[in-house]
Structures are given as C-alpha cells and as structure tokens.
C-alpha cells in the first residue's frame, strides 16, 4: 500500500445537504448533483496496488455478512427483464463474480439451474458457504481475471458492488470468452449520495452520515473513483456493441442506527482507517452513532430509520 505524501485525515469542512434534496419530486437529480459535487471535491488519499486484497480479513467478512444488502427488488427486476428482452433462452449457468458473502449470488438461484459465486477472498467465501443458500448455489475462491469456465459456457455473468475492484481489461477478456453467444452481463454498484430518513430529522441525519462518509472516504482505494463516476468507464470498457447503463435505481432500506454503523464498518475504506489509526477510527464511529441518536431524539441504537441508496447498473449482451 502506498500513502500519498501530505496525506490523510485532512479536516473537511462540514457540508450542508441542499434542502431541495428532500422534497418528494426531484430526488434523483439532486442526488446526481450531489455525487458530482463530491467527486470534484473528494481527494483519494490512500492508494493500493493490492485492491483485490482489501476483503481478506475474517472480521471484515463477518461484518460484510451481517451488514450488507442484497440487490434490491428494482435492480433484480431490471436484470430479469433484461434477460427476457434479450431472449436469453437457456438459463443454465449464472456466475456471480466478487460474490463476497453471497448476498448477491442467492437472488439468482430461482432463475438458473446452477449459480456459482466466486471471490478472490477465502474469508468471504468461507462466510458465504456457512450461510444458508439454495442447493443449486455453490461458491469457489477464484480471481475475476481467471474464470474457471469453458469458452462459451455461461449464460449470465454478474458482479454486484465488485467490478471496480477487478483488473478491468483482463476481466472483460474473460467475460467475452466464457459467455455463450447472446449471453448477458450485469455490473452494478451502489454509490455515494446516501440519504438517511427518520421523521423530520432526515436532513440532519443525512448531513451527519455524509460527514462521516467523507472522512472515511479519505482512506478509500483509488478504484472507488470508478464508483464515483457511476461506472461510466466500466460501460466504455465492456467489449459488446449492445450495452447500456441505468442510473437512479433507488433502494429504501429499513435499518437500525446500529445497522448504519455496521454498514460503515463493513466498508473497505473504514477497515483501512481502522488498521492505520484504530483509536481515531473507533472514535469516529462512536461519535457518529451518538450524533445520529441525538438528532433523532432517541436513546436506543435499535431504533429503525430508512437508508436510501442509489444504484447504477451496466447491462450488456454478447453478440452471436
Ligand atoms: C464490496 S464486495 C461485494 C460483495 C457482494 N457482491 C455484494 O453485493 O455485497 C467486493 C468483493 O469483490 C471481491 N474481489 C475484489 N477483487 C476481486 C477479484 N479480482 N476477483 C474476485 N473477487 C474480487 C472482494 O474480495 C469482495 O468480496
């Protein structure tokens, strides 16, 4: 890991969330503006040439299993209607690359004869294997750049919240090789601009969450720029003529305050922060929890709120 000189934890001035983020209409355009603003302002201060290895720790895998979400209903419908639209006739084999602890892999099980989740991290795959999964789902430890499948043998390749970690050039080559003619690919992620909603405190809660997230993002790997750019580069890199990018898929997730803190803990940026400065990292979390509770006017971190996340999805279909 290389630390850029003059680096980390520069104080950031607290940000005001534009109040027009909250009316019912116009949510999406406000979100887009906010993401662009963040991208322009943000400095990625920690770089790693071992980005694939940021998910190796067992504790991190356990956090991941506990606090990360499955692809939302809207995203799932988008994927399945895309397969119908592209007339993917055989639904034999789906491969979920960078499957982590399997949240994204399991949602494919009802549509395919066989689903294989693969991940470069042994710890993540071990967690995935230990959680309940349908009998047609299996998991293997393997890098995205060397897929263990024969040429033209896979109907669908997916990567949820994962493609930005891959060596994109090598992964795209593998994708082209393993997909059947007319096979499809789905590369999706959620990204900055999260909103936190609770009664009339939503604006304040969102501000608190984003301040913490900005701070922790100082420890993010440079590859998260692909996420901040909403996978535009990933769309460009996809070697198929037939491709598209869908933005603004919004997932409204019921979560407790403890769940919000757990979500932050499960990020690779927070895990890097924790390694470099454990005391500061823990105190940022404790402080964030305290501020959220105060803003909500409650004392229990089991109190439920709503966490709104934006997703982007790149879809593509291989030619004949
Ligand atoms: C943010 S997690 C996403 C997990 C899951 N798909 C989800 O939706 O929550 C990214 C995963 O990609 C894996 N990963 C990163 N680089 C990889 C690579 N080159 N090959 C395979 N997996 C990789 C990491 O180990 C990690 O488990």
Question: Which are the contacts of 308, defined by CB distance < 8 A and separation ≥ 6?
Answer: 194, 195, 196, 197, 250, 251, 252, 253
Cα 71 to chain centroid distance, Å, stands at 9
Residue-level pLDDT at 42: 44
Indicate if ligand 1 lies below 6 Å from the C-beta of 259. no
Name which residue sits closest to atom 10 of ligand 1, judged by CA: 162
How many whole angstroms from 230 Cα to the centroid of ligand 1? Answer: 17
Q: Are strands 46-47 and 2-3 parallel, antiparallel or unpaired?
A: antiparallel
Indicate if ligand 1 lies below 6 Å from the C-beta of 82. no
How many whole angstroms from 188 Cα to the centroid of ligand 1? Answer: 12
Residues with pLDDT less than 70, the chain = 1-56, 60, 63-65, 192
Sole residue written with tokens 């190796």: 56
Ligand 1 atom nearest the C-alpha of 143 is 20
What's the CA angle centered on 85, arms 84 and 88, to 5 degrees?
50
Residue-level pLDDT at 51: 52
pLDDT one-digit tens code per residue, 228-244: 999 999 999 999 999 99
Residue-level pLDDT at 193: 81
Domain boundaries, the chain: 24-317
Please identify, in words, the CATH class of the domain defined by 24-317: alpha beta
Residue-level pLDDT at 64: 62
How many whole angstroms from 124 Cα to the centroid of ligand 1? Answer: 8
In a 3-state reduction of DSSP, which class is residue 151? coil
- Please give the Cα distance from 205 to 2 (Å, whole number): 34
Q: Give the largest CA-CA distance in the chain.
A: 59
Indicate if ligand 1 lies below 6 Å from the C-beta of 105. no
pLDDT one-digit tens code per residue, 104-148: 999 999 999 999 999 999 999 999 999 999 999 999 999 999 999
pTM: 0.84
Residue-level pLDDT at 54: 57
How many whole angstroms from 94 Cα to the centroid of ligand 1? Answer: 16
């Amino acid at each position: 890991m290389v630390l850029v000189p003059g680096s980390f934890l520069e104080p950031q001035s607290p940000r005001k969330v534009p109040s027009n983020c909250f009316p019912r209409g116009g949510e999406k355009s406000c979100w887009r503006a906010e993401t662009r603003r963040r991208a322009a302002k943000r400095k990625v201060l920690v770089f790693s040439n071992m980005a694939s290895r940021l998910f190796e720790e067992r504790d991190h895998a356990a956090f991941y299993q506990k606090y990360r979400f499955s692809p939302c209903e809207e995203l799932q419908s988008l994927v399945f209607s895309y397969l119908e639209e592209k007339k993917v006739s055989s639904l034999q084999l789906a491969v979920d690359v960078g499957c982590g602890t399997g949240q994204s892999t399991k949602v494919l099980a009802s549509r395919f004869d066989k689903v294989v989740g693969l991940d470069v991290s042994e710890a993540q795959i071990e967690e995935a294997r230990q959680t309940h999964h349908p009998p047609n789902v299996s998991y293997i430890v393997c890098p995205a750049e060397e897929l263990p499948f024969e040429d033209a043998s896979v109907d669908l390749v997916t990567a949820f919240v994962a493609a930005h970690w891959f060596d994109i050039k090598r992964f795209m080559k593998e994708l082209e090789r393993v997909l059947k003619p007319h096979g499809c690919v789905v590369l999706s992620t959620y990204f900055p601009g999260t909103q936190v909603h609770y009664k009339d405190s939503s604006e304040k809660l969102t501000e608190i969450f984003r301040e913490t997230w900005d701070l922790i993002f100082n420890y993010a790997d440079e590859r998260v720029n692909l996420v901040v750019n909403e996978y535009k580069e990933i769309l460009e890199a996809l070697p198929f003529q037939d491709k598209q990018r869908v933005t603004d898929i919004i997932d409204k997730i019921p979560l407790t305050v403890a769940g919000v803190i757990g979500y932050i803990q499960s990020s690779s940026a927070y895990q890097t922060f924790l390694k470099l400065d454990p005391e500061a990292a823990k105190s940022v979390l404790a402080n964030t929890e305290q501020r959220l509770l105060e803003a909500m006017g409650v004392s229990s971190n089991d109190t439920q709120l709503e966490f709104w996340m934006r997703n982007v999805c790149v879809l593509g279909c291989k030619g004949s």
